[in-house]
């Protein structure tokens, strides 16, 4: 992603968070503020995606992109599972839980990638937000099937789970705000633009500061991490990112959107999926799945992989490597 991205305040605040936590500073963002910023970012990204779709309309590739996203969300956990059980030596339960995380997506990784690709002149399409939302849940389903097989759990547990999966807060807020954007359109957006667009990148800076703090603290406390798992947490985003990007190019997405699909595949969930696993697979160890997704894959994606994926997309769509 070149020099420009690494000197972007967004990335620098993330690095500051990492450094502060590694140095054992007590710097801390109140949880209510972090949660508020997370909701704000989802509402804003959903809304902006919807506005763009209202402006530009949908081209034929949107359905292909949705299908590609959901398909990847269902299949990536399968090979991730075998890797985690084999190379990673995890138990069935833990391997399934981790696999679900890698099949799903991270909103903030996506948002950071959109900022960077837009800076590089390759803004992804607005409908990629809908693709993102549709990729949150399928992997949870895949993960639970891997863990328990068909027909597990009692009726009530299943209902609670279906709700958690289908109506999880991120999905509802992303899709809801997206729909509002489509309905309200550009002139409805004008009034709320200073809030949802003007201050967006600044809020993202503070949110990434917090993510850096949390990611670094978690890995310092981690007990269950092994080198095998660290390797997998870097291998999976590389492989998934390459597959997703190629898939995007194959179905005819533009450079930015193909790269965005790659980033969605490469990213690992650290909000929606952990919440679902806490509910449905309480035996799985959060010390494994959160540390892998949050403390290894997330920084790897933000600092390195977003750049690699962008270059791959530029190369595959014939645009050459994007200028830094």
Partner 1 sequence: MIETVIRKRIEILADQAQARRVTDIIDKTGITGWTITPVTSGKGREGRWREERVMGTDKVFILTIASQENAAALAEKLAPILTSHGLLLTMWDVEVIRGERF
Report if residue 159 touches partner 1, rule: CB under 8 A. Answer: no
Helix-helix angle 200-221:31-56, to 10 degrees:
130
Helical H runs in the chain?
Answer: 2-6, 9-22, 31-56, 61-86, 92-103, 107-119, 128-135, 138-148, 155-166, 169-190, 193, 200-221, 227-250, 255-266, 272-280, 286-290, 298-300, 306-316
Report if residue 19 touches its own copies, rule: CB under 8 A. Answer: yes
Binding mask 240-269 for Na ion (x = CB under 5 A): -------------------------x-x--
Binding mask 247-286 for partner 1 (x = CB under 8 A): -----------------------xx--xx--xx--xx-xx
Report if residue 214 touches partner 1, rule: CB under 8 A. Answer: yes
Residue whose CB is less far from Na ion, 16 or 304: 304
Give the interface size with partner 1 as a residue count (CB under 8 A).
Answer: 25
**What is the footprint of its own copies within residues 201-220 (CB under 8 A)?**
201-203, 205-206, 209
Cα distance between residue 229 and residue 297, in whole Å: 11
Residue whose CB is less far from partner 1, 7 or 156: 156
Residue 84 contacts by C-beta under 8 Å, 6 or more apart in sequence? 90, 94, 95, 98, 99, 232
Residue 58 contacts by C-beta under 8 Å, 6 or more apart in sequence? 127
Report if residue 38 touches partner 1, rule: CB under 8 A. Answer: yes
Min dist CB 106 to partner 1, Å, is 11
Min dist CB 214 to partner 1, Å, is 7
Cα distance between residue 68 and residue 52, in whole Å: 21
Place of tokens 């957006």: 189
Length of the chain: 324
Residue whose CB is less far from partner 1, 284 or 309: 284
| Number of alpha carbons in the 13 Å side-chain half-sphere of residue 1 | 27
What does the binding site for Na ion look like in residue numbers (CB under 5 A)?
265, 267
What does the binding site for partner 1 look like in residue numbers (CB under 8 A)?
30-31, 34-35, 38, 156, 160, 214, 217, 221-223, 270-271, 274-275, 278-279, 282-283, 285-287, 290, 294
What does the binding site for its own copies look like in residue numbers (CB under 8 A)?
7-10, 12-13, 16, 19-20, 23-33, 35-36, 39-40, 43, 47, 163-164, 167-169, 172-173, 176-177, 179-180, 183-185, 188-189, 191-196, 198-203, 205-206, 209
């Amino acid at each position: 992603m070149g020099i420009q991205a690494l000197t972007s305040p967004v990335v620098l605040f993330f690095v500051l968070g990492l450094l502060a936590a590694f140095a054992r500073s007590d710097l801390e963002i109140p949880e209510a503020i972090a949660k508020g910023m997370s909701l704000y970012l989802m509402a804003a990204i959903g809304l902006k995606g919807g506005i763009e779709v209202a402006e530009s309309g949908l081209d034929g590739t949107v359905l292909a992109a949705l299908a590609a996203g959901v398909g990847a969300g269902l299949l990536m956990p399968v090979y991730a599972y075998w890797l985690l059980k084999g190379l990673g030596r995890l138990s069935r339960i833990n391997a399934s839980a981790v696999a679900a995380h890698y099949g799903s997506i991270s909103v903030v990784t996506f948002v950071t990638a959109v900022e960077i690709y837009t800076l590089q002149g390759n803004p992804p399409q607005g409908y990629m937000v809908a693709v993102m939302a549709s990729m949150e849940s399928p992997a949870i389903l895949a993960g639970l099937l891997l863990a328990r097989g068909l027909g597990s759990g009692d009726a009530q547990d299943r209902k609670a789970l279906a709700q958690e999966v289908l109506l999880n807060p991120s999905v509802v807020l992303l899709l809801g705000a997206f729909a509002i954007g489509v309905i309200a359109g550009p002139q409805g957006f004008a009034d709320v633009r200073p809030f949802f667009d003007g201050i967006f990148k600044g809020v993202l800076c503070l949110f990434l500061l917090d993510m850096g703090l949390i990611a670094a603290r978690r890995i310092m406390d981690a007990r269950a991490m092994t080198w095998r798992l660290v390797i997998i947490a870097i291998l999976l985003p590389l492989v998934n990112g390459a597959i997703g990007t190629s898939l995007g190019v194959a179905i005819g997405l533009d450079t930015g959107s193909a790269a965005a699909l790659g980033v969605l595949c490469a990213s690992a969930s650290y909000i929606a999926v952990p919440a679902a696993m806490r509910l449905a697979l309480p035996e799985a160890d959060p010390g494994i799945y959160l540390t892998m997704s949050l403390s290894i894959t997330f920084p790897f994606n933000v600092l390195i992989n977003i750049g690699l994926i962008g270059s791959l997309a530029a190369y595959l769509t014939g645009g050459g490597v994007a200028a830094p």
